[in-house]
Amino acid sequence: MKIVVTLPDDAVHDLTVQAGGSLMDAMRKAGLPVRAECGGAMACATCHVVVDEAWIAKTGRAGDEESDLLDMSDYRSGNSRLSCQIRLTDSLDGLKVTLQLDAFEG
């Protein structure tokens, strides 16, 4: 499946990934500069992405605990999610997200 990730510097990366696992894991495996300090334990907000409007219905919006962590971000929007909480399924083939500056290690 394909995932399109835009970095804060406007570089666009097309990732070819397998279904299963999280978006955060897929970005790390692809060598993208995502901080992801807690490694996916949902204990920080350093894997913050904004989901493209066309995809938010399929990924869903942040739940309460995730939303509390995202409240710490100066870059939060209505489509903000933690990439560690987005599970890659075949229905997300073509997903478009933008890594936020507070999650960018570059």
Q: Tell me the percentage of the chain whose pLDDT exceeds 70.
A: 100
Q: pTM value?
A: 0.96
Please enumerate, as own/partner, the contacts of 26-29 that have beta carbons within 8 Å and a separation of 24 or more.
26/88, 27/83, 27/99
Name the CATH superfamily, with its identifier, for domain 2-103.
Answer: Beta-grasp domain (3.10.20.30)
Task: Please report the pLDDT score of residue 56 as a whole number.
Answer: 98
How confident is the model over 25-62, as pLDDT tens digits?
Answer: 999 999 999 999 999 999 999 999 999 999 999 999 99
Residue pair 58/92 in contact (Cβ under 8 Å)? The answer is: yes
